[in-house]
């Protein structure tokens, strides 16, 4: 019984964030994540790594051990162990510790690429932060509601960049950097999203005319995803999630007292 209560208390501390102990645990984990990600980032800068490389290794192991403890405590306290292990957060938690352990096993001289990869995989610890973002429900709902429309929009963008990229490949040719259709499509994406690196840019007047048209189209296109999500966010203002208890219809006005469908009292 005492064990159960201890397990339950551990579970609450780890999975919730209401009491001071629960909040302190969350903040500790967030700080560990930020330190860990910073270490991976700074470790990739040669001049910093040369001086502090040995410190980074120690910090790395301390954090890995702490994250390992966290991982197994989560498994221990969770009722539905398998569900957690194979959930998004469970996989992220495992990926946060695995690379460090794997780096001991695989330490042959001819495995440098794999070690480099493992070291980098630790950056995915940043995804552990997702758990602590209080994702605004309205926002998530708006994005989810406009999923279909955004998909249609993305399909349209992909068709446009495929055709414009191919046309520019034909018009400009390899001199201006349009060496293949995939590369020309890459240019079209860079242009239509208004990023515009300038590493590939049309040189001929005809190419510049087409590019100019593509830009103005992209300019008008940029309006569409904005409008879609925007209108969804605004829509979620006037209606409630309440269902009519009589007929089950949804999307009632937030001040509604009677169902618009069956006339019953809500």
Size of the site for its own copies (CB under 8 A): 106
**By the rule CB under 8 A, 115 interacts with its own copies:** no
Q: How far is the CB of 173 from its own copies (least distance, A)?
A: 10
What number of residues does the chain have?
266
* 68, 73, 145, 166: which one binds its own copies (CB under 8 A): 166
d(CA 164, CA 148): 24
**By the rule CB under 8 A, 102 interacts with its own copies:** no
CB 123 within 8 A of CB 37: yes
Choose one: 2-10, 69-77, 83-91, 122-130; the region binding its own copies (CB under 8 A). 122-130
CB 218 within 8 A of CB 187: no
Output the six-digit token pair for 96: 């946060």
d(CA 247, CA 226): 35
**By the rule CB under 8 A, 58 interacts with its own copies:** no
Cβ nearer to its own copies, comparing 60 with 78: 60
* 94, 115, 126, 131: which one binds its own copies (CB under 8 A): 126
* 31, 106, 216, 245: which one binds its own copies (CB under 8 A): 216
Choose one: 21-29, 53-61, 95-103, 213-221; the region binding its own copies (CB under 8 A). 213-221
Q: How far is the CB of 234 from its own copies (least distance, A)?
A: 5
Query: How many CB atoms sit inside 10 A of residue 192's CB?
Result: 20
CA-CA-CA-CA dihedral for 143, 145, 146, 151, to nearest 10: 100
**By the rule CB under 8 A, 256 interacts with its own copies:** yes
Query: How many CB atoms sit inside 10 A of residue 252's CB?
Result: 20
């Amino acid at each position: 019984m005492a064990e159960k209560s201890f397990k339950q208390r551990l579970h609450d501390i780890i999975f919730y964030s209401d009491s001071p102990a629960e909040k302190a645990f969350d903040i500790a984990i967030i700080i560990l994540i930020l330190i860990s990600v910073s270490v991976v980032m700074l470790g990739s800068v040669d001049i910093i790594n040369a001086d502090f490389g040995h410190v980074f290794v120690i910090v790395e192991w301390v954090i890995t051990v702490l994250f390992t403890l966290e991982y197994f405590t989560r498994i221990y306290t969770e009722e539905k162990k398998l569900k957690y292990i194979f959930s998004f957060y469970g996989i992220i938690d495992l990926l946060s510790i695995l690379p460090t352990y794997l780096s001991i096993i695989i330490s042959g001289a001819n495995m440098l690429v794999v070690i480099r990869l493992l070291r980098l995989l630790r950056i995915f610890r940043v995804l552990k932060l997702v758990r602590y973002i209080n994702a605004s429900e309205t926002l998530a709902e708006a994005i989810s509601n406009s999923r279909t429309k955004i998909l249609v929009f993305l399909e349209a963008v992909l068709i446009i960049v495929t055709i414009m990229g191919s046309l520019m490949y034909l018009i400009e040719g390899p001199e201006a950097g349009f060496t293949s259709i995939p590369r020309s499509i890459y240019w079209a994406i860079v242009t239509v999203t208004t990023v515009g690196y300038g590493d590939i840019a049309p040189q001929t007047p005809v190419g510049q005319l087409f590019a100019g048209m593509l830009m103005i189209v992209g300019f008008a296109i940029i309006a569409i995803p904005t409008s879609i999500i925007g209108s969804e966010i605004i829509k979620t203002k006037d209606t409630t999630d309440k269902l009519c208890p009589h007929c089950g219809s949804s999307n009632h006005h937030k001040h509604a007292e009677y169902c618009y469908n069956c006339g019953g009292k809500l």
